Amino acid sequence: MSETQPQKDLLLKTNRSVGIVGYGAYVPQYRLPAAEVARVWAGGEEGLPIKEKAVPGMDEDVITMSIEASRNALKRAGISPEELRAVWIGSESHPYAVKPSGTVVAEAIGASPSIQSGDWEFACKAGTEAMVAAMGLVGSGMARYALAVGMDTAQGRPGDALEYTAGAGGAAYILGPGEESLAVIEASYSFVSDTPDFWRRAEAKYPEHGQRFTGEPAYFHHISSAGKALMQMMGTSAGDYQYAVFHQPNTKFPQRVAGMLGFSAEQIKPGLLVPVIGNTYAGAAMIGLTATLDVAQPGDRILMVSFGSGAGSDAFSILVTDALLERREKALRTADYIARRTEIDYATYVRLRGKLAMK
């Protein structure tokens, strides 16, 4: 591996304190058990990677799901949508190849027209990339509030290993001044390299992946490097964090990378949603964080490290404030969406996801 750990202070720190003033999750209601995929494709002998994954309805996509998560974030923030100065959506399943998701979301939540809006693409870290950008926008004083969403309706080729896990869901964050925040972002750090572990060519419907290559040189290297560097530069260690959230393509990877960084199973438990909603790609780490914020207490510190294939990781150190307790009651919690569950079989899944050739 060519990339080495940085030694000097490369923390991304804002000029003024920035934090999360509102957050919102969204998970669609349909669930496809991994056992169903195994039944149809006669797989799963080595054990199933998750219990079940969330599947969007026929009328859902990244735009509609982002709208609901953003509305939840606005309820918690208690601000007027016109106060937002950016609406940024990170996803690898934007409904359009060309035409922003952000404009529709902004219009629907009432944020346009005085906004920055654009869609972010960096595989599964597109949403956290948007968060770092929002930190910059707010931290520089260019904007008081900015919205960053990570949302996906993940694709997996029928029969592929990804099909067991490729789920749907994500989260929206409104970043604003630290003093108004329910959790302050103390610092972030990003670690990026050209590592082709997973991709989807422009005209392809389903992604390709490097199989075992996606593990060591990609997922584990980038997350551990970003997480380690962030903590090193901040002078913190796993013991300073009540919770940690990592990108979660399956159940084992985040468990193992947590161990590599010194975190216990308890610390990652509230944010480990992949067993019950699947891998929500750009939404995965971000919705792990909403679930964690749903149970955290003032004073708790949370580490979040995303991972996007291609590859890179964004790490954030987040400190919960007193404002969380009252504000988290103002919208549906992540667990409310997870509890709303309609189990489907593989045939229904195929219909809902448009996998039937109609022409």
Q: Tell me, yes or no, if 45 is annotated catalytic.
A: no
Q: Are 168 and 65 spatial neighbours (Cβ–Cβ below 8 Å)?
A: yes
Identified catalytic residue from 92, 129, 163, 186: 92
* Beta carbon of residue 321, minimum distance to another protein (angstroms, whole number): 24
Alpha helix (H) residue ranges in 235-313 = 252-260, 265-268, 274-277, 284-293
Q: Tell me, yes or no, if 92 is annotated catalytic.
A: yes
Q: Are 168 and 54 spatial neighbours (Cβ–Cβ below 8 Å)?
A: yes
Interaction of residue 180 with another protein, rule CB under 8 A: no
Of 95, 159, 259, 299, which one interacts with another protein (CB under 8 A)? 95
Burial of 1: CB neighbours in 10 Å, binned 0-12, 13-18, 19+: exposed
Q: Tell me, yes or no, if 247 is annotated catalytic.
A: yes
Q: How far apart are CA 216 and CA 200, in angstroms?
A: 20
Burial of 204: CB neighbours in 10 Å, binned 0-12, 13-18, 19+: exposed
* Beta carbon of residue 18, minimum distance to another protein (angstroms, whole number): 28
* Binding window for another protein (CB under 8 A); candidates: 42-50, 61-69, 219-227, 277-285: 61-69
How many CA atoms lie less than 13 Å away from 72 in the CB half-sphere?
27
User: Quick check: helix, strand or coil at residue 325?
Assistant: helix
Of 68, 129, 300, 314, which one interacts with another protein (CB under 8 A)? 68
Alpha helix (H) residue ranges in the chain = 34-41, 62-77, 101-109, 126-139, 161-165, 221-234, 252-260, 265-268, 274-277, 284-293, 323-327, 334-339, 346-352
Residues 213-242 that bind another protein (CB under 8 A): none
Of 340, 348, 350, 355, which one interacts with another protein (CB under 8 A)? 340
Q: Which residue, 75 or 269, has its beta carbon nearer to another protein?
A: 75
- Residues paired with 146 in a beta bridge: 175
Interaction of residue 73 with another protein, rule CB under 8 A: no
Among candidates 82, 85, 86, which has minimal Cα distance to 120?
86
Q: Which residue, 5 or 96, has its beta carbon nearer to another protein?
A: 96
* Beta carbon of residue 181, minimum distance to another protein (angstroms, whole number): 24
Identified catalytic residue from 124, 163, 221, 222: 124
Interaction of residue 29 with another protein, rule CB under 8 A: yes
- Residues paired with 271 in a beta bridge: none
Q: Are 215 and 274 spatial neighbours (Cβ–Cβ below 8 Å)?
A: no
Interaction of residue 60 with another protein, rule CB under 8 A: yes
Of 332, 334, 338, 349, which one interacts with another protein (CB under 8 A)? 332
Q: Which residue, 96 or 260, has its beta carbon nearer to another protein?
A: 96
Of 54, 73, 89, 108, which one interacts with another protein (CB under 8 A)? 108
Identified catalytic residue from 209, 221, 222, 247: 247
Q: Which residues bind another protein (CB under 8 A)?
A: 29, 57-61, 63-64, 67-68, 95-96, 104, 107-110, 331-332, 336, 340, 342, 358
Active site residues: 92, 124, 247
